[in-house]
Amino acid sequence: MKAKVYVTLKREVLDPQGDAVRRALGTLGFEGVRDVRIGKLVELDLTGADRSKAEAELPAMCQKLLANPVIEDARFEIID
């Protein structure tokens, strides 16, 4: 079983990297981009096939290591 964890900055946290990408896109002629937020994707290969165990453990993984809960949000999806 695999899981994908998406980590992004909270909306209220400034994203200077995203702003730099937005400006760069504008200089390349892509004027229709209003906002860019940069995040990260973490792919996990989980042993076993116990979906309920994975659903219980993934939030703790995000809270303790994969995301900084002060400034980041995390969501995950489990892929069978």
Average pLDDT, the chain: 96
Phi/psi zone of residue 48: left (φ > 0), alpha (ψ -120 to 50 degrees), beta? left
Domains belonging to the chain, first-starting first, are 2-79 (3.30.1280.10)
**Ranges of residues in the chain whose predicted pLDDT is under 70:** none
Contact 46, 5 (CB under 8 A): no
Give me the pLDDT at residue 49, please. 77
CB atoms within 10 A of CB 58: 20
Q: Which residues of 11-43 are buried (b: 16+ CB within 10 A; e: fewer)?
A: eeeebeebeeebeeeeeeeeeeeeeeeeeeebe
> Full-prediction pTM beyond 0.85?
yes
